[in-house]
Chains A and B, each alone.
Chain A
Amino acid sequence: MKKYVSPTNIFESILFLFTLYFCSLPVLSVIIYGIGGQGRDITGADCLRILSLLKNSILLAFGVTIAAVLLGVIATFALHRIEFKNRGLLRTFMLLPLVNPAFVGSISFIMLFGKRGLITHTLLGLSISPFGWHGIFFLQLIGSTTLAYLVISGAVRNSDVSIEDAARSLGASEKAVLLKITLPVMMPEISAAALLVFLGSMADFTTPLVIGGNYRTLAADLYILITGRYDMKLACLSGVVLLIPCFSAFIAQRYFSNKKRYLTDQTVNTSIEYVHVKPWVKRVLLTAVSMMLFLFIINILFVFAGAFTVSWGSNYTFTLAHFKTAFSLDAQKYVKPLINSIILSVVAGIGSSLIGVLTAYGIQRGRFRFGRLLDTLAMMPAAVPGILFGIGYLVTFKYPLFGIGRFIFPELPPLILLGTSMIVYLVCIARNVNLSMKNCYALLEHIDPDIENAAVNLGASKIQTFGWVVLPLLKDAFINSYIKVFSATMTSLGVIIFLLMPKNKVIVQVLFQSMTGGLSLGVPAVLALALSLVTLLLMLLFNVLAYGKGAWGRLRRFDK
């Protein structure tokens, strides 16, 4: 038989090179540079310092993870397994924290609990500092709860509750049903949610810098080391230390969830609401979830209020001055970054969704020879804190020819890829490919592989099958991951912070700098408001473009 190279093989090779190069090489670079790179010598004091920061990071991350998962489970039960009026609206409110980076919460936090805060100062007459570990914990918790809720509720919706009925008819009490059946079956998703929250908290350097005060985490220190002390060597070593718990958690969860995957072989359509709920249980759940939502709403409302107030704490007069500062005085300063952010997020969204969906499709349908390896390479960035991934790019692509030039042309000048806008786009795409792959895997599980065989059987060529059958089926996965990547890129900073140049500043960065720079709360509030509104409106717009009518309904279920 004659051997030939099919388009699939070529495509697989390109994907392979891309993931190897842009997803996994930077990760390896950090490790190599951190352990063996040139630079100053590392002292024992450095090591002790790193370890104590690591302890801070891990304690905080554990606390946030436990609390967020607990709240996520409570919200899931309250909003999906109990019936009450306006449930859909509350589910939508639950997604509010998604349109803002976690550190924006500090605006309302300071306005309420700060030195001149509404509650602590004006109402209670206290003068306590909001800065410290409790501030970080609280702000990270808000965003993480929504994250955990999304992952856990996604699973509950498709669960088969007849096993609970079976347990009841076998004599199990409601408590036994919950502890022995419902929760154990939810464990894979609970562990996935815990991993996400844990990694997010470990990687977050913005919130600790904005509200942490003297409580410093390893990720925040990393940022200071690079931007303030220019100590790249120590930064990379800290990075390697930061990687250890993150990678361990990632691998442990992957192993755990591979061992415990419960597939229900039939689609279940029965309603998942509990038939009998004790009134006090219902009351407790609804109270808990209302309190969460109240906080989420307060969080946004006070950003609103801050944007229209002259000076919070001393002068509560209504004003539009902050808007003028932000949008009319100097377009270069605030408006251009907003536009940069939108362009970056759109490109990253399209890029990672396209690559991610096609990769996932090829792997899931067994089209690729090295599917498992490809999957591992593409998933690597998911285990790495964003800021480290960015540093990986920094140390890898300092050299020409995408970094390889280091070994071939040592005398050529550096800054070939670094310093261009290209690298910012590439890092955002590579970072999010795993997100859209996961999305696509989940969707493909519900698509009958025989559909393609049916098309071939009806006489369609391979290309026709792909264009007429496969692509339309993948549309949902594409749109869904596009919107996720878009909103993630709009609101996250870690990956790109060290790769941005003055000319391609983004709005999150400006927002972050304005908040650490000690400006009044007014301008940051306006920027935060603009960021969330623009993100929300564009998400809605993309939905309308993709689905026309019913886009709002889809947006509300965008976690599916």
Chain B
Amino acid sequence: MKIEMIHVNKNYKEVMAVKDVSLAIESGEMMALLGPSGCGKSTLLRMIAGLTDMSSGQILFDGKDVSGVSAQKRKAAMVFQSYALFPHMNVYENIAFSLTIKKSKKDEVCKRVDKILEIMELEGLGKRSVQELSGGQRQRVALGRAIIMEPDILLLDEPLSNLDEKLRVLMRQSIKKLQQHLGITSLYVTHDQEEAMSIADRITVMEMGSVLQTGTPKEIYFKPKSRFVAEFVGQANFFERKGSKALVLGQDVFLPASFEDGFAMLRPENIHFTESGVAGRVRLKEELGLITRYQITLENQSLMVDALSNQIENNYRIGDVVHLSFDSSAIIPVQNS
């Protein structure tokens, strides 16, 4: 099912939580809504679910306006950050909920819940109280409870933020597999750029209630349109524009006229250590495993440089003088948002 949002606004008294958002999510697509906390991404999700009213605008499901349709009738299942499991019901009853209220036949409910328990790797836990489950198990119950109703749309509101790192990676892989297997149009809210990039077909970056950019993970990373997106997704060095060009490591770089109020942006992995080139001094060194991140001070600027850790020639110490160069093709002009 295709979701379209047209000029959607939401204000709480004076505060604009969502500002003029227009966005389309294709049928079967997994889109991530990425942004810092309080940027309006959860509000947007709740408006699609019908749990929060819009102040103005339109939301269309497959071209049909759903503004007047209640949450119950939207078939947009939501997975909550707190999981929102029903505390007075056991695992089985939680998962069966959407079928029970439709008064489905007992044996059919049983069959479908068993199937879900199997998919979610929760076999044998059906009678367990939800309060006795681990974080990961609760997460799977919440997800199972949502997909059993065979929703048209799956809405996930920071579903993994209460789990530890390792479990998070595992769970996001299984969510991705499940979503592709079922082909449900999905919207995934997160503030974690790595999670967004790994799970989504496309990413929408939001800030202060507005959409800044929508694109594939690659586009968002390699062609950020604004300074905010560039900084939020990955690390970035910025060089100020002077006239029609910017001075990057001693070289003049031309910027298109459309980026009037902008910067030249260079990712840290695109700066290299060389024999000659601009000189600087190592200020800070972070060993991150695969790469080592250096902070290097130049005459009037401080830069971040990433180098592969396993190359001996990249091994500098704090205080060392180094020389830097860069790929001019990697320069990206960005707006100062």
Q: Which residues of A contact B (CB under 8 A)?
A: 160, 162-163, 165-174, 176, 180-181, 184-185, 187, 260, 262-264, 266, 268, 275-276
Contact = CB atoms under 8 A, between A and B. Distances in A.
A172 B53 contact: no
B135 to A, nearest CB: 10
Contacts of A185: 86-88
A171 B52 CA distance: 16
Interface stretch (B74-82, B214-222, B229-237): B74-82
Contacts of A176: 101
A268 B77 CA distance: 21
A163 B145 contact: no
20 contacts: A160-B82, A165-B51, A167-B101, A169-B71, A169-B146, A170-B101, A170-B145, A171-B73, A171-B75, A171-B102, A171-B149, A172-B98, A173-B101, A180-B97, A181-B86, A185-B87, A185-B88, A262-B87, A275-B51, A275-B52
B72 interface: yes
Given A165-B49, A172-B101, 9 more contacts: A168-B51, A169-B49, A169-B51, A181-B86, A185-B87, A262-B87, A262-B88, A262-B131, A266-B82
B80 A165 contact: yes
A225 B92 CA distance: 57
Most buried by A among B52, B77, B82: B82
Interface in B24-76: 46, 49-53, 70-76
B101 A169 contact: no
B85 interface: yes
Which 6 A-B pairs give the minimum distances between C-beta atoms? A262-B87, A170-B98, A166-B84, A162-B84, A168-B71, A169-B78
Nearest to B94: A166
B80 A166 contact: yes
Contacts of B82: 160, 162, 264, 266, 268
Residue picked from A162, A173, A181, A275, most chain B C-beta under 10 Å: A162
Contacts of B145: 166, 170
A276 B82 CA distance: 22
Interface residues of B, number: 32
Contacts of B77: 169-170
Contacts of A167: 86, 97, 101
A38 B78 CA distance: 70
B80 A162 contact: yes
Interface in B148-207: 149, 155
A169 B76 contact: yes
B88 A172 contact: no
A173 B97 CA distance: 12
Contacts of B86: 163, 166-167, 181, 185
B175 to A, nearest CB: 17
Given A165-B51, A170-B149, A180 B101 contact: yes
Contacts of A263: 87, 131
Nearest to A164: B84
A176 B97 CA distance: 11
A260 B88 CA distance: 7
A160 B87 CA distance: 10
A183 to B, nearest CB: 10
A172 B51 contact: no
A276 B72 CA distance: 12
Nearest to A262: B87
Contacts of A171: 72-73, 75, 98, 101-102, 149
Contacts of A172: 72, 97-98, 101
A355 to B, nearest CB: 33
A291 B68 CA distance: 34
Given A169-B49, A171-B102, A275-B52, A160 B75 contact: no
A170 B80 CA distance: 12
A173 B70 CA distance: 9
Contacts of B50: 168-169
A163 B51 contact: no
A118 to B, nearest CB: 46
Nearest to B73: A171
Given A170-B97, A172-B101, A180-B101, A163 B87 contact: yes
A359 to B, nearest CB: 27
A88 B97 CA distance: 36
Contacts of A166: 78, 80, 84-86, 142, 145
A130 B70 CA distance: 50
A194 B108 CA distance: 39
Contacts of B75: 171
Nearest to B86: A163
A538 to B, nearest CB: 39
